[in-house]
Every structure is written in structure tokens, then in C-alpha cells.
Amino acid sequence: MLDVLHGAMADTDPRNVELVWSSALSLAQLGQADVSDTILLLLDRNELSQVKVLDREQDPRNPAFRTLSDKEIERILINTMLGARGMKVESVQQRIRDVAGSDPSARVRAAGQEILRGATAVESAG
């Protein structure tokens, strides 16, 4: 399974960027520190606002690249914080703390703070 996920991470086709992100998040949940660069990108609102994704839903016959909406960026930030909370990479943990403390979205900050409380509870119990 790890080989398949690492193989998907190596995909450089811009049409598959979301597959790369999903693979990175799965690997992060499995404790694979080598995906930290991708996780850091997924925890960076400014980077996400520059990314183009292939929209296959708007017009399935003629998919086109578009930027992510604010709601999509919020979802990615929250899901990435959830998936990466157990990573033993200080730069990732610091980025999660930064997002939880200063993201412009109250929803993202609240989710991040909840995630951090949960991670602290798990560390204390362990």
C-alpha cells in the first residue's frame, strides 16, 4: 500500500494534483515524514490560492483548470490539520499551530484549536 501511495505522490501531471494531495495526506496519517513538503503546502493558504485544479464537475465534457474557492481552501486546511496532527515533523506541527492561531477564517482557527487540544490530550495519555 505504501508503494502505491508513494507512486501516486510522484505523479507530475497537473490534472492529478488532488490525487497527489490525497496520497500525501494518507501517508501523513501513516506517519511518513517524507511527505512533509506537500503537507506544508496544503497548510499554506497563500500557496493553495495560487494552485489550479482541474474542474471535472462544472462541465464534465470540457474540464477546465480553475483556482480553489475559499470554502475549498478551508476544507483542505482543516482536513490537512486533522491528517497531519500525528506527524513527528516539527515544521508541520508549527504550521498547524500557526494556522490554528492566525488563519483569517474563524472556522479554520476553531477547527485547528480543537485539533491541537485533541493532539495534546493524546500525547498526555500516551
The pLDDT mean for the chain works out to 92
**In the predicted model, is pLDDT for residue 114 greater than 70?**
yes
How is the chain split into domains, by residue range? Answer: 2-125
Distance CA(64)–CA(124), nearest Å, equals: 47
Residue 111 banded pLDDT, cuts 50, 70, 90: very high
Model pTM? 0.89
| 23-61 per-position pLDDT tens digit | 999 999 998 999 999 999 999 999 999 999 999 999 999
Q: What is the pLDDT of residue 38?
A: 96
Cβ-Cβ contacts under 8 Å for 95 (sequence gap 6 or more): 39, 40, 43, 44
Whole-angstrom CA distances from 49 to 27, 32, 88 are: 23, 26, 27
> Does the pLDDT at position 16 exceed 70?
yes
Q: Residue 12 half-sphere exposure, CB side, CA atoms within 13 Å?
A: 0
Q: pLDDT band at residue 2, thresholds of 50, 70 and 90?
A: confident
